[in-house]
Structure 1
Amino acid sequence: MSSISETLEANVREIVIDRPKVRNAFDEATYHALAEALERAQNDPQTRVVFLRGAGEHFCAGQDLSEMAAPKQEGGVIGFERLLDALVALDVPVVTAVRGSAVGLGTTMLLHTDVNLIGDDAKFRCPFVPLGVVPEAGSSALLVARLGYAKTAEFLFTGRVMSPEEAVAAGLGVAVLPADQVVAHAREVARRIAEGPPNSLRLTKRLLRDGERDAIAAARAREVEAFRVQLGSPENLEAIRAFFDKRKPRFD
């Protein structure tokens, strides 16, 4: 069974991250499956808008830590980077509905999507440092551009939860809505956008995004280099063991 489901209706490609038992966390297969779905959207003239959401009550809990607990593997970076390549290259507008957990990639991918509607139950968190790794998806540059240096440093160093209201104020979303209404509202926004002229939509998104693509590429290159150092390191493995043991990690 695929971890990603898709439908295409009225020029809206609805893509669902479908691993609700793990709050839609990503394993290697899911990285590739979502990348493939976004690549299809990019190359399909019938797709004018992508509507992205998570199955059930959560958007995305980021990396599946049970995979990260394994010894360092190149494949874990390759699948993730393929997904980011597809997301950054996508000229189709992306509307999201964000409920519940938005952890790690569940937060940082919103820096690359376009119209993010936020449920009032959403919790944003980037626990890269607490997990003994580093920021990803160009977030080391994009979060600073949106939040400023001081707020970004505090958010990333502590790994704390960001509220829906704070996320909207920071430019990660456009509005906070009741959790039980956000999916329907976001789907309607996607349909409304899809009624527009397709070439104008794609060109406008390209104009909005092209100015930051060089900065994103440079930030991602730095992040990948640092991530390779930390993935599977003693700090990373201790943080993951502590997570599963439900204890405070010990970094000697």
Structure 2
Amino acid sequence: MSEVVQVERNEGVATIRMNRPDRLNAYNPEMGESLMSAVSEASVDPSVRCIVLTGGGKAFSAGGDVEFMAAFREEGHGKFLDFAIRLHALIASLRKAPKPVIAAVNGVAAGAGFSMALACDVAVATASARFTLGYQNIGLSPDGGMTFFLARALGTQRAMEMTLFSKVLSAEEAAAWGLVQQVIPDAEFAAQTAAIASLLAAGPTLAYAKAKELYNRALSQPLETQLEEERQNIARSSTTHDFREGVRAFLDKRPPHFEGR
């Protein structure tokens, strides 16, 4: 694994850390390939039951590496298409990973970095974190699924407000708007994030995966289709070891011990 991305595995949790701290973890193709590889490997590793995406140093990710983009600005269209294709594959892999993915936002999340955080299932942030699009500052339209995620989370008008004015949200504002689920004091961030990840890693992984599939499709299909898929998925979930263990634990009045199978 390239040093621009570091991966740690511990007790069912894979922590994927963007590691370009001198560039505020700005996204470039090398980082994109390494992130894609790390997410893909964690997604299929049965020993991994929760994924944490975070940044090294004082930032989550400042977004696309502007110096890198400046090097091919004269070539324009084709280079940007390739740049976006790679980023979008990463965004899709985060969204489709068959286990919970936590964005641990430890500083600024801008542009593509903000998109990566939005693609995760749960976002926690340090009190000092900041969120912004930033595309308009360099004359670009949003990418990385930003318009998809923000329109659904905030509604079109508030999403447009963030886009047109390059509005910067504090962690508390992002939480109030539903973009972050928990704001954690900086000094407690690592410990509390690890506790949240451990909780999810101890959960019913297959049931989480089915729930994730359902929510990902919920806004794009009719109620009748969604109900049918819910019926099929709950029936499949009922055949798992974790369902049997959950029922036994409920009847025995004890906490369940899920194994993710």
Please report how far the alpha carbon of residue 50 of structure 1 lies from its aligned counterpart in structure 2 after TM superposition.
Answer: 0.1
> What are the Cα deviations for residues 174-232 of structure 1, in whole angstroms up to 9, with x where unaligned?
12111121222111100111111221222222222232578xxxxxxxxxxxxxxxxxx
SS in 1 for 2:9: strand
Q: Which amino acid aligns with 1:155?
A: M
SS in 2 for 1:181: helix
- Indicate the residue corresponding to 1:3 in structure 2: 4
SS in 1 for 2:16: strand
- Indicate the residue corresponding to 1:62 in structure 2: 63
- Indicate the residue corresponding to 2:32 in structure 1: 31
- Indicate the residue corresponding to 2:252 in structure 1: none
Aligned pairs, how many? 214
Q: 1:213 to 1:27 in 2, by over 3 A?
A: farther
**Sequence identity, in percent?**
29
- Residue 153 (structure 1) aligned with residue 153 (structure 2): no
Pick one of 186, 189, 193 that aligns with 1:182.
189
Pick one of 118, 128, 145 that aligns with 1:121.
128
SS in 2 for 1:76: helix
Structure 1 stretches lacking a partner, 5+ long: 215-252
- Indicate the residue corresponding to 2:23 in structure 1: 22
Structure 2 stretches lacking a partner, 5+ long: 222-261
Pick one of 107, 110, 113 that aligns with 2:117.
110
Which stretch of structure 1 is more off in the superposition, 33-42 or 144-153?
144-153
- Indicate the residue corresponding to 2:247 in structure 1: none
- Residue 164 (structure 1) aligned with residue 171 (structure 2): yes
- Residue 42 (structure 1) aligned with residue 49 (structure 2): no
TM-score of the pair, normalised by structure 1: 0.80
SS in 2 for 1:50: strand
CA distance in 2 between partners of 1:77 and 1:148 (Å) = 24
SS in 1 for 2:194: helix
Preserved contact between residue 16 and residue 54 of structure 1 (Cα < 8 Å)? yes
> What are the Cα deviations for residues 103-153 of structure 1, in whole angstroms up to 9, with x where unaligned?
112212222111211111011110112211111122213212211222211
SS in 1 for 2:138: coil
Pick one of 183, 193, 200 that aligns with 1:193.
200
Higher relative contact order (CA 8 A, sep 6+): 1
SS in 1 for 2:215: helix
Preserved contact between residue 5 and residue 18 of structure 2 (Cα < 8 Å)? yes
SS in 1 for 2:82: helix
Q: Which amino acid aligns with 1:124?
A: F
SS in 2 for 1:205: helix
Preserved contact between residue 41 and residue 50 of structure 1 (Cα < 8 Å)? yes
Preserved contact between residue 94 and residue 101 of structure 2 (Cα < 8 Å)? no
> What are the Cα deviations for residues 3-28 of structure 1, in whole angstroms up to 9, with x where unaligned?
11111111111110111111111111
- Indicate the residue corresponding to 2:236 in structure 1: none
Following superposition of structure 1 onto structure 2, how do residues 186-225 of structure 1 map, counting pairs within 5 Å? 186-212=193-219
